[in-house]
Structure 1
Amino acid sequence: MWKPVRLFAFKRKFDFLGQRRIALILSTLINIVSIVGVFTIGLNFGIDFKGGIAIQAKAKDGKAELDQLRNTVGALGVGEVSLQEFGDPSTVLIRVQRQEGDNQCVAGAQRVMQKRAGPGWLVKPGAAGTGDVEFTAPAALDGANWRDAVSRVGLTLQERQLPRGTTNTAKVDMSVEQRAEWCQQVAIKLVEDAIGTNYELRGTESVGPKIGDELMRSGIWAVIATMVAIAIYVWVRFEWQFAVGALIAMLHDVISTIGIFVLFQLDFSLTALAAVLTIAGYSINDTVVIFDRVRENMRRYKKMPLLDLLNQSINETLSRTMMTSATVFVAVGALVLFGGPVLHSFSIAMLWGVIVGTYSSVWVACAGLVYLGLRADQLRPADDKADKADKTEQAGA
């Protein structure tokens, strides 16, 4: 007959908490460095939060020439530009700062019109304090032709905006915010016109300044709400010392993960935020499993010293902890190797999260119970009665 596979078949008596002071000093240093890094170096915010444009382009023949591309795109007057290889040497990711909707943007729209609709076109901003844009055609056009012409720069003339009769001027009414959003599309078309001969655009992403700010605020509130909800759950599920220990461990994991984004300047986007939230959930899951065994052993061995009891509980759950961590590590490792550039930041963060989540469950959460002075007589009497009732029912069955 087949026998069950045991990861640790020998008797486990590792003195984990004997090294708690070294571990806590190391953890504190990592978190301090991570926080300092956020304020001094800063996160490499992606388009989702910072706003701007991301354009993926592939060379039609051979390898992408980054230096040449940087000079070409940098000369367009669209602001700060950064380039990097994207998956293979022939594909490049072009990042352009968010556009402010100023007169420079309108001048860029004129270049696009002259490129796409023919020479002689003029584009200028409307009255001061508005986002209006005025177009002047080289020849008089009727309403249908005007609609087709301005669509070449990503605008749509509404019925109320269509010129009366045939004329060579038209005005598009917009707010300042709407013009800033439109300027994102103008910048994309400028880049496409500049590099379209040698490169094929594979995809574009544009996030305006208003949307980027909203996403940033929503992301921060999502992280805070998640951590508060998890803390409340642990507080209800366990005694307050367990809740505080779990919350400290979760904060440790989140802060150190953000430090990884700073250290390697990984793209911090909505995908990265999802990784941070996933790590918080993974960490608390691992911690709760160990805490369950700790509380169970505290009821069973009421006179056992706390350090010995915690070590025993960690050793008893070690096989489960290592098996879970190993399987998740393998899955995330596959994402790192084969997930491609889109999942790169997410995969690296998750790989770190598996390691630090397992570490913090032992050397942060459990070590915290020691310093919080947990004692067996602090366990809730109601839980003891419930446990005794359950054991009586099981014995009767």
Structure 2
Amino acid sequence: MLWKPLHLVPRNTKFDFMSQRYLALGLSTLINVLSLVGLAVFGLNFGIDFQGGIAIQVRAKEGTIHLDNLRATAGALGLGEVSLQSFGDDRTALIRVQRQEGNNACVAHADAVMTHRAGAGWSVKPGAEGTGDVLFTSPGPLDASGWRDAVSRVGLTVLERELPRNNVNTVKIDMTPEQRAEWCQQVAIKVIDDAIGGQYDIRSTESVGPKVGAELMHSGVMAVLATMVAIVAYMWFRFEWQFGLGALIAMAHDVISTIGIFVLFRLDFSLTALAAVLTIAGYSINDTVVVFDRVRENLRRYKKMNLIELLNFSINETLSRTLMTSVTVFVAVAALVIFGGPVLYSFSIAMLWGVIVGTYSSIWIACAGLVFMKLRPEQLRHEEEGAKAKA
């Protein structure tokens, strides 16, 4: 018995894709407009990578996480905006805290942490105004080693040469305002640990400054723009200008609609999310190139076929390949959504959408764009024949 090959799509399909181009144009325009409006009104849910701040992963010592109680406890600590979300399973949560300023409120938090961890008689006070200096006072004289251990209780690391050799009750730690602001991130972590340490273990912490976040954002935007320019240049030289413009519109459609997904579901927009946007742009253009190649071949082969009929014929010819590629990638990305965990969740959801919208745009945006731009097959054929004659 001979095995018959598997066909996801029957041979010689004759779907009239181009008859739905006006409906697709209206739907795509609506999605992109809503995405841009949502971006302007609500903005992206920037992760720690771009926004700066503190991310603390905690795990319940017993039982499950109670987000409401944990949110109330963390929100009452005076650390500013605090947000929580489940992280992986029902015993783990991610606490996000806004970046701390190096002001006197931070020093007051450090004073409370020192009292809690070292006992009565300890105090932490700000130094001279306009500096980042901090004054530590102990209930009894300490040498350099004792002071180093003492200040480490509030997350401050100092060198031996910065501390007095003689036994003293008060020591001044010289810091710039910027250094004190960085130290205040560690103070905030200690404050949260003291408040929830009886029920939760801190698994990991991450702190990103605003300057680093701004640099990452700038680099990310430049990477997206450079990628799009490179892709457009490739399409421009490989195909006629109508094909290049159609591919650019399809790619921009996919990128904008993907950003809309981040806005709609409030997914974390981090470096991994940016990688997803770049990957979607590449996937979309790859599928578009395959379809455009077949369109151009058929322009040479069927000289009397009108453009809409030729586009439908070309799309149907490549439909099996398009669907097999899309389904394969979709299954792989779906596995990432289910089993990839919270770190890859935003990336996976974006890629899942990207597979769908990338396939859709190759047909109803890129190819339909050739119709709206009034591509003239006869003109392209004549230009090609003239080039061959000159050669």
Report the TM-score range of the alignment, normalised by the length of the smaller protein.
over 0.9
Please give the secondary structure, in 1, of the residue aligned with 2:101: coil
TM-score by length of 2: 0.93
> Root-mean-square deviation (CA), in Å?
2.1
Paired position in structure 2 for 1:394: none
Q: Provide structure 1 residue ranges, at least 5 long, that are not aligned to the other structure.
A: 390-397
**What whole-Å deviation, never above 9, does each CA across 1:90-142 have from its counterpart, x for those lacking one?**
22221111112211111111122222333322222223232222222222222
| Aligned-partner SS, 1:317 | helix
Distance 1:348 1:21 in 2: 28
Distance 2:244 2:69 in 1: 56
1:378 corresponds to 2:365: no
1:265 aligns to 2:276 (yes or no): no
CA shift, 1:351, in A, is 0.8
Partner Cα distance (2:102, 2:276) in 1: 33
What's 1:353 paired with? 354
**How is 1:42-191 mapped onto 2 (pairs within 5 angstroms)?**
42-191=43-192
What is the rounded CA distance, in whole Å, between the counterparts of 1:228 and 1:275 in structure 2?
18
Query: 1:293 is aligned with what amino acid?
Result: R
CA distance in structure 1 between the partners assigned to 2:220 and 2:35 by the alignment: 19
1:5 aligns with 2:15: no
> Comparing 277-286 with 119-128, which one deviates more in the overlay?
119-128
The secondary structure found in structure 2 opposite 1:248 is helix
Structure 2 CA distance for aligned equivalents of residues 102 and 302 of structure 1: 75
Name the SS for the 1:308 alignment partner: helix
1:194-229: CA deviation from partner (whole Å, max 9, x where unpaired): 111111112222212222222222221121111111
**2:195 and 2:67 mapped to 1: Cα distance?**
14
3-state SS in 2 of match to 1:302: coil
Per the alignment, residue 395 of structure 1 pairs with: none
SS at match of 2:321: helix
Q: How far apart, in 1, do the equivalents of 2:387 and 2:321 lie?
A: 26
Question: Given the superposition, is the C-alpha separation of residues 110 and 381 from structure 1 closer, same or farther in structure 2, using an over 3 Å criterion?
Answer: same
Q: Contact between 2:148 and 2:160, CA under 8 Å: does it hold in 1? A: no
Displacement, 1:173?
2.6
Check if 1:200 corresponds to 2:194. Answer: no
Secondary structure of 1:203 counterpart: strand
Hey, what's the Cα distance between the residues in 2 that align with 1:277 and 1:178?
36
Equivalence for 1:393: none
| Superposition map of 1:203-282 within 5 A | 203-282=204-283
Output the CA distance in 1 between the equivalents of 2:136 and 2:385.
77
Task: In structure 1, give the amino acid aligned to 2:249.
Answer: I
Q: Any conservation in 1 of the 2:142–2:167 contact (CA below 8 Å)? A: yes
Identity %: 72
Instruction: For 1:244, give the aligned amino acid.
Output: L
User: Deviation at 1:171?
Assistant: 2.5
Amino acid at match of 1:43: L
AA partner of residue 67 (structure 1): D
**CA positional deviation for 1:21:** 0.8
In 2, distance between residues paired with 1:86 and 1:9? 44
Deviation at 1:362, TM superposition (A): 0.5
Deviation at residue 2 of structure 1 after TM alignment: 4.1
**How far is 1:324 from its partner?**
0.3
User: Which amino acid is the alignment partner of residue 239 of structure 2?
Assistant: F
State the TM-score, normalizing by the size of structure 1: 0.92
Letter in 2 for 1:205: E
Compute the displacement of 1:279 (Å): 0.8
Residues 184, 208 of structure 1: 8 Å contact kept:
no
Please tell me the residue identity of whatever aligns with 2:368. A
Cα deviation for residue 174 of structure 1 reads 2.6
The 8 Å contact of residues 50 and 214 in structure 2, kept in 1 or not, is answered as yes
Q: Distance in 2 between matches of 1:366 and 1:175?
A: 59
Instruction: Judge conservation of contact 1:180–1:208 (CA < 8 Å) in 2.
Output: no
Query: Aligned partners of 1:132 and 1:219: how far apart in 2?
Result: 36
Judge conservation of contact 1:57–1:199 (CA < 8 Å) in 2: yes
Which deviations, in whole Å up to 9, do the C-alpha atoms of 1:300-345 show, x marking residues without a partner?
Answer: 2233211111111111110000000000111111111222222221
Deviation, 1:261, is 0.9
- 1:5 positional shift: 2.5
Deviation sequence 1:150-178 (CA, Å, 0-9, x none): 22222222354222433222222333222
Tell whether 2:331 aligns with 1:309: no
Q: How many pairs were matched up?
A: 388
Q: Which amino acid aligns with 1:357?
A: G
Greater Cα shift, 355-364 or 176-185: 176-185
Mapped contact 2:145–2:160 kept (Cα < 8 A): no
1:343 and 2:344 matched: yes
What code does the residue aligned with 2:350 have?
Answer: A
Task: Say whether the 8 Å CA contact 2:255–2:280 is kept in structure 1.
Answer: yes
Matching residue of 1:324: 325
What amino acid maps onto 1:74 in structure 2? G
